[in-house]
Amino acid sequence: MKLDLIEKQNLKIFLISVYGPQVNAWSIGDKMFDLTYALINDSRQCSDLMDLVPRPLPLGQQPAKWLTKEIRNIILRKLKDRKEHYSICVKTSALKRKTQFIMAANGL
């Protein structure tokens, strides 16, 4: 099923937020959608791992108390059905796939 005009526009808006104004010159189609899906999937995996990273130790707090709280927060972050992605994960995934997007934009 082909993307309709609204879907193409929404996809273009998202890609502009990731790659900047160069996307305006790109042809948006099914291949771009497939690449965007792969980018988001990569980002989701990264974001899931980022949830496991403890946050920095605040100044003056006891390390043992902080670690106990961080473990609890890590578990809570994993339990909630989160739809957001860490921006660093989106940027890393986008950089990894940029050549593929440019090739698709040029019909390759």
Q: Which domain holds residue 25?
A: 5-105
Contact at 8 Å (CB) between 101 and 18? no
Task: Say which residues have a Cβ less than 8 Å from residue 36's Cβ, sequence separation at least 6.
Answer: 11, 14, 15
Distance CA(77)–CA(92), nearest Å, equals 21
Identify residue 66 by its one-letter amino acid code: W
CA 73 to chain centre: 21
The structural domain count of the chain equals 1
Contact at 8 Å (CB) between 36 and 11? yes
pTM of the predicted model, to two decimals? 0.68
Going by C-alpha positions, the residue among 36, 27, 35, 34 that lies closest to residue 106 is 27
pLDDT digits (tens, 9 = 90+) for 24-58: 999 888 898 999 999 988 888 888 788 777 778 77
Confidence band for 21, pLDDT divided at 50, 70 and 90: very high
